[in-house]
Structure formats: C-alpha cells, structure tokens
C-alpha cells in the first residue's frame, strides 16, 4: 500500500514539475495555457488520490468519509480547472491577443 502511495505522489509531483517548467518556457500566452490547464489537473489528481489511499490504510468509517471528500476535491478540480482555462482563453481572444507564429518576413 505504501509503495502505491509513494508512486502516486511521485508521479503527481513529476506532472506538476512539467506544468511549472512549461509555464516558464513556453513562448506564447496560448501555448502557456496548455501545461497550465492539463498537467496541473493530472498532477492534482495523482497526488490527492495517493493521499486518499494513504488515508485508507487504517480502515474506519471516518477515514472512508475523508477519502470520499478528497475524491470530491478531485472531481471539483476536474470540472473547474478546464473551465477556468477556457475562460482565460476566451478573455484573451476577445481582447485581441494574437497567437504566436513564425516570423517569415524578417528572415
């Protein structure tokens, strides 16, 4: 059980690391939203699922209730994080932010 928890947490940490590096390194606003929207969601999913599994080690009614609450957090994040990302993209499109392209005229 502990090995599964450690595996979940490390996988989630790696996904969060990829998301953070992508937010720094991407060249453009729209491409920066790609790691921010997807990798953070998957990182939260893996890490909170690992914590919920660790919570179920000493099984009782309270720990089951806490794990269900953690699963509800994951469910809420899975609904809310793409919605927030889409809202930011919509705001950028309406404000007239142009996507990044290769500059062919200046070569």
Closest among 53, 46, 55 to 74, alpha carbons compared: 46
Which one of 11, 56, 59, 98 is in contact with another protein (CB under 8 A)? 98
Q: Are the CB atoms for 6 and 57 separated by under 8 Å?
A: no
Which one of 4, 7, 21, 64 is in contact with another protein (CB under 8 A)? 21
| C-alpha span between 93 and 99 (Å, rounded) | 9
Residue entry with tokens 């990044």: 100
Instruction: For residue 58, give the DSSP letter.
Output: S
Instruction: Note the residues at the interface with another protein (CB under 8 A).
Output: 2, 5-6, 9, 12-13, 16-17, 19-21, 23-24, 29, 32-33, 36, 40-41, 43-44, 47-48, 51, 54-55, 62, 66, 69-70, 72-73, 76-77, 80-81, 83-85, 87-88, 90-92, 94-98
């Amino acid at each position: 059980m502990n090995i599964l928890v450690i595996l979940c947490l490390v996988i989630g940490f790696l996904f969060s690391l990829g998301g953070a590096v992508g937010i720094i390194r991407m060249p453009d606003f729209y491409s920066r939203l790609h790691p921010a929207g997807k990798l953070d969601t998957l990182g939260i999913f893996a890490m909170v699922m690992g914590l919920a599994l660790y919570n179920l080690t000493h099984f009782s009614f309270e720990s089951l209730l806490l794990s269900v609450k953690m699963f509800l957090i994951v469910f809420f994040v899975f609904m809310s994080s793409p919605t927030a990302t889409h809202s930011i993209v919509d705001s950028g499109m309406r404000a007239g932010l142009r996507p990044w392209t290769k500059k062919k005229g200046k070569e």
